[in-house]
Amino acid sequence: MLKRKRDKEVSITSGEQAIMNKETEGLSQSQIVRSRFVRHKGAMTSVFVLSFLVLAVFSALETKIGPIRIPGWWKFRYDELLDLRTEGCPSGVVGCPTLDVVPSFIDGTGVGLGRHPFGQDDIGHDYFAMTMRGAQRSLYVASVIGLLGGTIGIIVGAISGYFRGWVDSVLMRFTDFIITIPTIIIGSVVGFHFGNLGVGFLAFYLGLFAWTGLSRLVRGEFLKLRELEFVDAARVAGASDRRIIFKHILPNAVGVIIVSITLLMSGAILLETALSFLGFGVVAPDVSLGSLISQYQDSFTIRPWLFWWPGLLIITIALCINFIGDGLRDAFDPRQRRRLTKKDKERTKSQARIAAKND
């Protein structure tokens, strides 16, 4: 009984291998990665959701690039003072949301956004505009940290793993040194002093300290790859160190790098919100998702919408980035084995049958 089960397993594994080989025949690395990524349902859904969110969030409010003003599609600005809505709200509550998703045949009113879909804050700001503004800030911080932290991490890790020796020791001890200073301390010390210089500065500063994990990973990858034959071949052909690092080794380490940058970015979103929550991040009059939650955490019982919307946005953004990272990891991992669908299994079986007949 047991033996039979094993036999079946072995045949499935070899069949799987056959499918994998067939699939990757004559394709370049990037084509393989792309096709694997597209197959990851969670990651693809996340790509669509995230792109939609980014577009919606950034086009909602008026954007100023120097003298040019691009009007947003939403009618209010985030810092615009409006009349507080009281009609239609439960007694004692002001600024309740007008978003209505229950169709008219149930409660008599139609589906619609209304004037303030997410409600209003204490003094009349439109909460939808504030949430959009907060999401803009959070996304902005995440991308700056991802870009800056990613660049520094790759450069430090690559140099340290490629040259080894004393360069490696110095750089890795420097990394240890940065790791010892917890990011939250940096954020709070810096935020406390420079918080009012704006969100760009905060993101820049956090990015300067966020590269440590990535640089260790890249270093490990470089230590492994530099021993391989293709590097020797490049060196014999007379390639310079810079060329070997950037043209030969780096493209081979790109999987690890991209995955950990996505994780870095989702971590950055949470870090920014945590700092703003503690009051060290984005400060009034500017808003971020974290500062909105922090401001209204006590109003949860009476005005829960002030708490739910920014939170749901944070979670959606972070979740999407995490899923995209997972999809990329699977796509770049050469050992990754895809779950076989029923059709695949049947195909292998029939192939095996044909092969058995031919024997």
64 contributes a contact to another protein by CB under 8 A: no
CB of 57: closest distance to another protein in angstroms?
Answer: 17
Q: By CB under 8 A, is residue 318 in contact with another protein?
A: yes
> Shortest CA distance to 324 belongs to which of 58, 135, 45, 30?
45
Peptide bond into 285 cis (omega under 30): yes
- Could you say which of 326, 344, 345, 347 contacts another protein (CB under 8 A)? 326
In whole angstroms, what is the distance from residue 150 CA to residue 349 CA? 46
CB of 128 to another protein, least distance (A): 19
Residue pair 119/303 in contact by the 8 Å Cβ criterion = yes
Q: Which of residues 193-212 bind another protein (CB under 8 A)?
A: 193
Interaction of residue 127 with another protein, rule CB under 8 A: no
> ∠ CA(282), CA(141), CA(196), 5° rounding?
30
User: Tokens at residue 48, please?
Assistant: 């669509």
User: Does position 335 bind another protein by CB under 8 A?
Assistant: yes
Return the H-helix or E-strand segment holding 174: helix 165-180
What would the two tokens of residue 112 be?
């619609």
How far apart are CB 9 and another protein at their closest, in Å?
Answer: 10
CB atoms within 10 A of CB 37: 18
163: exposed, middle or buried (Cβ count in 10 Å: 0-12, 13-18, 19+):
middle
Distance between alpha carbon 135 and the CA centroid of its chain, in Å?
13
| Residue 307 CB, nearest approach to another protein (Å) | 7
Q: Which two tokens stand for residue 265?
A: 């970015």
Q: Which two tokens stand for residue 264?
A: 């870095």
Binding-residue total with another protein (CB under 8 A): 43
Of residues 148-187, which lie at the interface with another protein (CB under 8 A)? 173, 176-182, 184-186
Residues in contact with another protein, shown as a per-residue x/- string from 241 to 280 under the rule CB under 8 A: -------------------------x---x--xx--xx-x
Residue 226 neighbours by CB distance under 10 Å? 19
Instruction: Assess 188 for contact with another protein (CB under 8 A).
Output: yes
Site membership for another protein, residue 138 (CB under 8 A): no
Task: State the nearest-atom distance from the C-beta of 230 to another protein, in Å.
Answer: 23
The one-letter amino acid code at 293 reads I
Q: How far is CA 174 from CA 145, 182, 206, in A?
A: 19, 14, 17
Give least dist CB 314 to another protein, A: 6
Looking at beta carbons only, is 42 or 124 nearer to another protein? 42
Least distance from another protein to the Cβ atom of residue 69, Å: 33
Give the single-character DSSP code of 251. Answer: G
Q: Is 215 in the site for another protein (CB under 8 A)?
A: no
Contact between 293 and another protein (CB under 8 A)? yes
What angle in degrees, to the nearest 10, is found between the helix axes of 41-60 and 29-39? Answer: 80
Nearer to another protein, 185 or 228 (CB): 185
Min CB(323)–another protein separation in Å = 6
**E runs forming strands in 288-359:** none
The 9-48 site mask, x for binding another protein (CB under 8 A), equals ---------------------------------x------
Site for another protein in 298-317 (CB under 8 A): 300-301, 307, 311, 314-315, 317
Q: Is 8 in the site for another protein (CB under 8 A)?
A: no
CB contact at 8 A, 239 and 254: no
* Residue at token pair 């095996």: 352
**Residues binding another protein (CB under 8 A):** 6, 42, 173, 176-182, 184-186, 188-190, 192-193, 266, 270, 273-274, 277-278, 280, 290, 293-294, 297, 300-301, 307, 311, 314-315, 317-319, 322-323, 326, 335, 339
